[in-house]
Structure 1
Amino acid sequence: MGRRTRGARTQASQRQYDIETEWTAADLAVLEELKRAEALLPDDAPRALLSVRLSVLTDETTSPIRQELDLRMLARERGYRVVGVASDLNVSATKVPPWKRKKLGDWLNNRAPEFDVLLFWKLDRFVRRLSDLSTMIDWCLKYRKNLVSKHDAIDLTTTAGKIMVTIIGGIAEIEAANTSTRVASLWEYTKTQSDWLIGKPAYGYETVETEDGRIVLGIDQTAHRALHWCRHVAMRAEPLSAQQMVNVLVRTGLCGQGLTASTLLRRLRNPALMGYRVEEDKNGGVRRSKLVLDGDGRPIRVADGVFTEEQFHSLQRALDRRGKQQPTRTPEGATKFLGVLICPDCKTNMTVQKTQSKGRSYAYLRCGKCKGGGLGAPNPYEIYGQLVEDVLKVLGDEPVMTREYRQGAEARKEQQRLEQSISYYMTGLEPGGRFTRTRFTKEQAEEKLDDQIRQLAAIDPESTKDRWVAVHNGKSFRTRWQEGGMEAMGADLLRVGVKCEVTRTKVPGVRAPRIRMKIKVPKDVRDRLILKDDDFAEAF
């Protein structure tokens, strides 16, 4: 039966767009003309951010250069000053929402005070999901930003645009309510089918297209070689360890550099290698897969097996003989302060490894790259306790500051009113002016003028700008961490970039090494400690 890998037909007609695309002389001439026109705009002109996106370049797509020039022309027509271009190329709008894109996401999450209106070329260049558009509309209304499309009727300052917002918001609400039901129903249906409809195949398989257009699973020959070699060396009288297998597979190019021993063991223990449909088994906190059974209680075959049932089960017995009995994982993870505690020698994370022997459980804090995990620290909770104590001494009294968005529209309006009023009184107090006709009117006008000058001088120039400000929420980090425990402290230290080097030195005649800890705090730790609310967290 002839077949080929799915997607082969479309790859030839598409190519990734080069981010370093060169502008033509004609394009640059147009750009310079638009910038000259922009320089003539008043200082208080609305500030525009241009959003440019492209996944792949085909004959039908519009290049990023054309998108930018068209948007700059639109900005000129509307009197907007362009303050930036968020260009995200080779990015799918279906898979990556605006706030998760590298360039546009930085503007939305961190640079909102720097622009007033967001321009995009066409709706599908900006978003491809109604729920994403609804989220962006909510964000714009919250921060008083305008959303304008060149080729679609989206403009939050127009009546038609507001009607469009209402329609889109209603559709998105219906979509959000039905999404979970549709997805759950689709997956339940897929589990009962022998054809491969959706999902990522297990390691050892790939999706292929038959001559009649059906999508089925076929055996990946490279993975087949790797898996059978692993079974061969695991069945020896002196079998190789999982890490030794990984080293050989990576060195020979059968697997990628990122392969780990735990990943390899999960692959070797997956019953999908017998050609059956599987699903994740979440019981006990261990990442495993289990067979999906049909209505008669039999496994559902979706492909030829990489292993026969006898080969698979004999492999499991061999792995069980050599495997260590690891305790069940705890829901919050085995290691506290993961990413904070590091080894000063290999610079990798320190993690807790647990083993059981003769009915007793042992926990050691080890690093990732030192031979054998380095000198293991046998009492992880003692290290946690010392880290908590040291961090509280250094950062415990720091106030908890939260980032809030302040808009300068009201202050700008008041500043403009005072400036106009001062100009009015100054003109009236000039020789021959309306306030110079009598002594009384002149004194009253001068008094009023002085008062308004004082009011104008009292306005902080920063208050007239849209800006982020840090506000104290009344707590210290000591209080915050006492309420949230080690999990809250670990999350904050990881976010801020605080590291703790754990040095273990062998002591003659003593089994446990001597432990020394050194906390490394970034110089700008106070700025990093400021809590920033995620406006888009609810979107996920």
Structure 2
Amino acid sequence: MGRQTRTRRATDQRQYAVEAEWTETDLALMAELKRAESRLPDDAPRALLSVRLSVLTDDTTSPVRQELDLRMLARERGYRVAGVASDLNVSATKVPPWKRKELGDWLNNRVPEFDVLLFWKLDRFVRRLADLSTMIDWCLRYGKNLVSKNDSIDLTTTAGKIMVTIIGGIAEIEAANTSTRVASLWAYTKTQSDWLVGKPAYGYETAQNEDGRVVLVIDRNAHRVLHWCRNAALRAKPASTRRMVKVLVRSGQCGPGLSVATLLRRLRNPATMGYRVEEDKNGGVRRSKIVLGSDAKPIQVADPIFTEEEFQSLQDALDRRGKNQPTRHPAGATKFLGVLICHDCGTNMVVHKTRVSGRFYAYLRCQKCRSGGLGAPNPEDVYSKLVEDVLRVLGDEQVMTREYRQGAEARKEQQRLEESISYYMTGLEPAGRFTTTRFAKEQAEKTLDALIKQLETIEPDSTKDRWVAVRNGKTFRARWQEGGMEAMADDLLRVGVKCKIERTKVKGVRAPHVRMKLMIPRDVRERLVLKEDNFTEAF
């Protein structure tokens, strides 16, 4: 049976470029809207535009339409556009607003920069009632407003709050129905020998046969890679999976992002026998298992890359090498991963465990030095020395928490004082209301002086929405004593603290001399400030 040219590979992904979607008419309208915005007063409310799409196609123009419509809405309401949060190929059902790449950054870190959040339609913003409720609470807490182009939403009124809840409930019902349809489609697909939907497993790609149906065909390059790996694993002196990865990357057969774990998943995937499979998570280990049909036999969806005998012999070879590996620790074998780095190559130091004569030995090794460089034995000693150095340098620093302060009250008080001062100054002018008698003039002057002093006490920053750092009465030493090494490792990684590990060969001694150099960023105090998560389940 003849087959036409390949239509799509498992790894094919088209990156969306917003610039490619703008026409000359769109750009002309954008220029007109920006000119109108430039004429707004300096104190005009600032609007953040939220643009979102779940699926992008070659003919997509919706992101452009959403942004232009929102800019026109901002012009109508007298808003100044503070920025555009564009999240494309993002599902509102799966990803709430505060976890999206661009909008999440605005909501978590750039709150003082906008006053109103504009979106095209509520289902472009959220599709879960719980997410909507969280966003309403967040807006009320931070003094923000939600405005929709195509829905009657305004959090400044009680009716608006009720309306947004009703619309959000309808959007959640629609999303649930969509989820049910998709789940039903996948359940049906798993029982069919035809390829209906989904991403093919490594080794296969989609094509159209003579009847126009989509079928799976073998990717010739991946076929060569998989069989080469099997032959390398079955040699008298088998190659390690790490060695296979290096050879495949250097030869250009696989991309530079190929990892040992990824290659093992490909080699252990029963889909290479042409069977339909589904993901099976067992104890955190990702594997694929065969789907059986109504006749209790595997469902064949493509020609096999490996026969059952070839596949089983490959699994036996991988199992023989895997038996010498120690059990993985749920929290990871390496503590302070990302903090400890190699002095020579700059890559992360990781723990390698080996077993000799029934005993396990652990070493800290890097990733780019030849053979991992000189192994630093006794990782626990390295951890203890790192903890000691960090406590000496940063242990007495005060724990500061970032809090949001609104300037609305201060701005209101400042405006009241300025209006009162203007009132008394006008009254003290010649022929003013306070110049009729000496007593009235003296009293007015005293009141004016008092108002000016009150105005001078108002800090300029207090009239702005801003983040402030507040002490919580605890030092980092106490924080780390309560949370242990895990809490310290999280803070050091967040702050950007690094520790270089230098290993030097000592003549006549098996273990190298280990020297550690702690590297602290200059702005460490600013980085140490804890940022409260405003979107936790408790909130």
- TM-score when normalising by structure 2: 0.84
Q: Which amino acid aligns with 2:410?
A: A
* Match in the other structure for 1:499: 498
**Offset at residue 491 of structure 1 (A):** 0.7
Aligned to 2:61: 61
Listed as ranges, the gaps of 5+ residues in structure 2 are none
Is 1:393–2:379 an aligned residue pair? no
> Residues 179 and 477 from structure 1, CA distance in 2 versus in 1: closer, same or farther, beyond 3 angstroms?
farther
Other structure's SS at 2:164 match:
helix
Listed one character per residue, the Cα deviations across residues 255-309 of structure 1 (whole Å, up to 9, x for unaligned) are 2221133432332223333344545554455444445567997655554432122
Q: Residue 499 of structure 1 contacts residue 520 of structure 1 at CA under 8 Å; is this kept in 2?
A: yes
Are 1:522 and 2:516 an aligned pair?
Answer: no
How far, CA to CA, are the matches of 1:165 and 1:345 in structure 2?
58
The code of the aligned residue for 2:481 comes to Q
The corresponding residue for 1:86 is 84
Partner of 1:435: 434
**Given the alignment of the two structures, is residue 41 of structure 1 paired with residue 40 of structure 2, yes or no?**
yes
CA distance in 1 between counterparts of 2:378 and 2:171 reads 52
1:362 matched to 2:325? The reply is no
Matching of residues 88-127 of structure 1 within 5 Å: 88=86, 91-92=89-90, 98-122=97-121, 126-127=124-125
* Distance (whole Å) between structure 2 residues aligned to residue 263 and residue 60 of structure 1: 33
Instruction: Label 1:489 to 1:147 Cα distance change in 2 as closer, same or farther (>3 A).
Output: same
Q: Secondary structure at the match of 1:153?
A: coil
1:396-475 mapped onto 2 (5 Å cutoff): 396-475=395-474
Equivalent-residue separation in structure 2 for 1:19 and 1:87 (angstroms) = 15
CA distance in 2, matches of 1:92, 1:221: 33
| Residue of structure 2 equivalent to 1:242 | 241
- Preserved CA contact (<8 Å) 1:285 1:328: no
What is the CA–CA distance in structure 2 between the aligned matches of 1:348 and 1:92, rounded to whole Å? 32
Q: Which amino acid aligns with 1:248?
A: V
The whole-number CA distance in structure 1 between the counterparts of 2:444 and 2:457 is 20
CA contact (8 A) 1:500 1:520 kept: yes
Partner SS for 1:330: coil
* Structure 2 CA distance for aligned equivalents of residues 36 and 63 of structure 1: 21
Equivalenced residues, count = 532
Q: Deviations over 1:229-270 (max 9, x none)?
A: 221232233333323322332234332221133432332223
- How far apart are the structure 2 equivalents of 1:247 and 1:201? 25
Instruction: Give 2:483's aligned residue.
Output: 484
Task: State the alpha-carbon separation in 2 of the partners of residues 176 and 377 from structure 1.
Answer: 53
Q: What is the aligned partner in structure 1 of residue 338 from structure 2?
A: 339
Q: Is the 8 A contact 1:207 1:215 kept in 2?
A: yes
Give TM-score scaled by structure 1 length: 0.84
What is the Cα deviation at residue 80 of structure 1?
1.8
Distance 1:217 1:29 in 2: 46
Amino acid across the alignment from 1:527: E
Contact 2:202 2:266 in 1 (8 A): yes
| Corresponding letter in the other structure for 2:127 | R
| 8 Å Cα contact 1:113-1:467 kept in structure 2 | yes
Deviates more, 1:262-271 or 1:204-213: 204-213
Q: 1:205-225 CA deviation, whole Å, 9 max, x = no partner?
A: 345667778766544333222
Partner SS for 2:48:
strand
RMSD: 3.9
Residue 317 (structure 2) pairs with residue 318 (structure 1): yes
The alpha-carbon deviation at position 122 of structure 1 amounts to: 5.0
Deviates more, 1:516-525 or 1:140-149: 140-149
> How many Å separate the matches in 2 of 1:298 and 1:34?
63
- Name the counterpart of 2:329: 330
CA contact (8 A) 1:130 1:171 kept: no
Identity over aligned pairs, percent: 73
**CA pair 415-154 structure 1, distance change in 2 beyond 3 A:** same
Distance in 2 of aligned mates of 1:36 and 1:333: 55
For 1:174 and 1:485, how far apart are their aligned partners in 2?
44
* In 1: Cα distance, 2:273 partner to 2:508 partner: 52
Kept after mapping to 1: 8 A contact 2:47/2:118: yes
